[in-house]
Structure 1
Amino acid sequence: MGTTRIEESERQARAWLVHLTSGTATREDGEAFRRWCLSSEQHAEAFARARRMWEDLGPAIAAHTRPERGDHAPQRHRVRMGRRAFVTTAIGASVAAVLLARIDLDRVFRSGGVGRLRTAVGEQRRVDVVPGVTVEMNTATDIALRGTGKAVTGMRLRSGEAVVRIDASRKAGFVVDIGDATVASTPGSAVAVRCIDSESVVTCLDGQALLSLGSTESLVKPAQQVSFDARGIAAAVAVNPDTALAWRNRVLIYDNQPLAQVVADINRYRPGRIVITDRALGDRRVHARFTLDQMADVATLIQDAYGAHATHLPGGWVLLS
C-alpha cells in the first residue's frame, strides 16, 4: 500500500512539473500546487526528485543536441528538443501536458464597457472618477463604478486595493462596496480599501470613514486600520500609513512577516509566480524593503538572503525550497 502511495506521489509530481513548465499555468494553479506540496512530506520529496531531474536535463539536452565532430548535416535537418519536450518524453506517455485556455479578461471587461476600471499585474493608475473624487489603483485591481444614469456615486472594489480621496470642496460623500460591506467617506477624507482573497481591510489617511457590515458599524479614524471578513469586523488598530501604503511610492515594506505571506504579496506585482515548497522556509520571519523596480529580480534577492534553492521555470515561475 505504501508503495502505491509513493508511486502516486511521483506521478502527481511529474504531472505538476510538466504543467508548471508548459508556460500555461495560472496563478490559481500556483496556489493549488503550493497546497499540494505542503499537504504531505511525501509530495514535497517527490517533487524535489522531479525537479532535480529537470535541472539535470539541462546538460543532458545540451549534449543531446550538440553536433558530433565531423557532423556536417544541414542545420534545417537537425531536430532540436526543448527541455520541456525532453521532460515530457522522459516521464512517459502516461503524463501529458494539458494546455489550459486562458480567458482574456481585459477583452471581457472592455466588452462590459462602461463603468469598469482595472489595472494589470504590476500596473498602477490614478483616475479622476468624478469631479472631486480621485482613485489611486494598485496592481491587479478591479473596480466597478456605480451610480444613477451617468452620475457616479460610488464604486465596488471587486479585488485589489485603492486609495479613494474626496476633495473637501465636494458636497457629496462617496461610498465603496466591498463584498457585503460598505465604506462611506465624507468630503475631505482619504481612505485606502483592500480586498485580497477573503480578507478585506480599510485604512484611513485623512478625515474618517464609516464601515458597515450587516448591523455592525465601525468608525475608522486617521492612522487606523480595520480588517473584516464574513465573520465580522475586527477591532481598529493603529498603523503607520506611510508603511502600510508604501506601494503608493512604488515600495513594498514587510516587518516581521512570514516569508510565505511576503511572497504571496509580491506575486501580485510580477508576472508568473514564486512558490515556496518548503514549510520551514515559508514560516521564516522577514524584515524587508523592495522597490517595484526590483520585482524582476526579487526571487534571486530572496534566494540570496535566505539561502533558498531556486528553480526557474518558464513564464516567470520560480520554485523556492
Structure 2
Amino acid sequence: MGTTSTNESERQARAWLVHLTSGTATREDGEAFRRWCLSDARHAEAFARVRSIWDQLGPAIAERDRAVRSVRAVPRHGVRMGRRVFLATAVTASVAAVLVGRYGLDLGRDGDGAERLHTAVGEQRRVEVVSGVVVEMNTGTDIGLHRTGDVVTGLRLRRGEAVVRIEASRRTPFLVQVADARLDSSPGSSFAVRCIDSESAVTCMDGTTVLLRGGTQTLVKPSQQVAFDDQGQAPAIAVNPATALAWRDRVLIYDNQPLADVVADINRYRPGRIVITDRALAERRVHARFTLDQMADVATLIEDAYGAHATHLPGGWVLLS
C-alpha cells in the first residue's frame, strides 16, 4: 500500500510539474497546487524528488543547441531527435509562453467596442483621460472608458487598482464605476479604487467621495477606506494613504500580515508565481518593505529573511517551503 501511494504521489507530482511549466497555469492552479502539497506530506516529498529533473535541463539545452546546429548540416531524413533534446525544446517553448504578457495591449477595445486602458504585469502608467481628470494605473489594471460623442465622460475599473484625481477647475461630472458601485466626487477630489479577485475597495485621499451601491450612499472621507464584495460592505476604516498607496512610489509595505497574503500581493507585480507549500510559513506574520525594483529577487529575499527554502522553476515560478 505504501508503494502504491508513493507511486501515485509521484505520478501526481509529475503532472503538476508538467502543468506548472506548460505556460497555461493560472492563479487558481497555484492555489490548487499549494493545497495539494499541504494535504499530504508525501505530496511535497514526491514533488521534491520529481523536481530533480530540472537539474538535467542545463545539459539538455546544450544538447538541443548542438542538435540544431547539426540539423543545418545534415539532411532532414538523417536526423532523429533524442528524448532529452525533445524535453529541452518543449520546456523552452513552455517557458517562453509563460513569459508572454498576459494582459494584451495597453490600449485597445473590448468585444463590445468599449475603449480600454491596460497595464501589464509590473507596469504603471499615468494618463490624462480627459481634461481635468488624471488616472494613475498600477500593475495588471484594466479600465474601460465611457464616451459621450468624442469626449470621455467616465470609466469602469474592471480589474486592478488606480488613483483618480479630478482637478478643482473641472466642472463637468465624471463617473467612476467599480464592481457594482459608482462614485460621485467633487472637483478637487482624489481617490483610489481597487478590484482584485472578488474584493473591491475605495480609498479617499482628498475632497469628498460618495459610494453609491445598492441604493445606499456611503460618504468616504479623506484617509478612509470602504471595502465591499458580493457578500456585503464593510464599515469605513481609517487608513494611512501613504502606506496603503505606497505603490505610487514604487514601494510595497506590509505591516503584520500573513506571509501568504504578502506573497499573493507580490504575485501581481512579477511574471510567474510564488507558491507557499508550508502551512506554518504561510501563516507567519511579517513586517516587510519591498521596492518594485526588487521584484526579480523577491523570492530570494523572502527565503533569506524567513528561513524558507526556495525551488525555482522556469517562467518565474518559485515554490517556498
TM-score, L = length of structure 1: 0.82
Between the aligned partners of 2:306 and 2:251, the Cα distance in structure 1 is 21
Which residue number in structure 2 is paired with residue 258 of structure 1? Answer: 258
Where 1:168 maps in the other structure, the secondary structure is: coil
Conserved 8 A contact 2:108-2:115 = no
Deviations 1:135-168 (A, max 9, x none): 0000000000113222222111000000000011
Number of residues of Structure 1 aligned to a counterpart in Structure 2: 302
Alignment of 1:1-321 (within 5 A): 6-51=6-51, 53-54=52-53, 57=56, 76=70, 85=87, 105-106=103-104, 110=108, 112=110, 115-321=115-321
Conserved 8 A contact 1:23-1:314 = no
- Residue 25 of structure 1 deviates from its aligned partner by 3.3
- Residue 12 of structure 1 deviates from its aligned partner by 1.4
Distance 1:110 1:10, change over 3 A: same
Between the aligned partners of 2:183 and 2:130, the Cα distance in structure 1 is 18
Task: Tell me which moved more, 311-320 or 113-122.
Answer: 113-122
Distance 1:248 1:80, change over 3 A: farther
Distance 1:128 1:100, change over 3 A: closer
- Residue 7 of structure 1 deviates from its aligned partner by 3.7
Between the aligned partners of 2:295 and 2:165, the Cα distance in structure 1 is 28
Between the aligned partners of 1:319 and 1:57, the Cα distance in structure 2 is 19
- Residue 44 of structure 1 deviates from its aligned partner by 3.1
Distance 1:196 1:104, change over 3 A: closer
- Residue 288 of structure 1 deviates from its aligned partner by 0.6
Amino acid at match of 1:181: A
Between the aligned partners of 1:153 and 1:108, the Cα distance in structure 2 is 20
Where 2:104 maps in the other structure, the secondary structure is: helix
Distance 1:83 1:232, change over 3 A: farther
Distance 1:275 1:18, change over 3 A: same
Between the aligned partners of 1:21 and 1:84, the Cα distance in structure 2 is 15
Between the aligned partners of 1:109 and 1:167, the Cα distance in structure 2 is 24
RMSD: 3.3
User: Where does structure 2 lack aligned partners over 5 or more consecutive residues?
Assistant: 64-68, 72-78
- Residue 284 of structure 1 deviates from its aligned partner by 0.8
Distance 1:288 1:176, change over 3 A: same
- Residue 57 of structure 1 deviates from its aligned partner by 4.5
Between the aligned partners of 2:55 and 2:86, the Cα distance in structure 1 is 12
Distance 1:111 1:188, change over 3 A: closer
Between the aligned partners of 2:210 and 2:229, the Cα distance in structure 1 is 16
Which residue number in structure 2 is paired with residue 68 of structure 1? Answer: none
TM-score, L = length of structure 2: 0.82
Conserved 8 A contact 1:119-1:141 = yes
Amino acid at match of 1:54: I
- Residue 58 of structure 1 deviates from its aligned partner by 6.6
Between the aligned partners of 1:150 and 1:35, the Cα distance in structure 2 is 50
Deviations 1:223-268 (A, max 9, x none): 0011100111101111110000000000000001111111111111
User: Where does structure 1 lack aligned partners over 5 or more consecutive residues?
Assistant: 66-74, 89-96
Task: Tell me which moved more, 200-209 or 213-222.
Answer: 213-222
Distance 1:45 1:212, change over 3 A: farther
Conserved 8 A contact 1:13-1:47 = yes
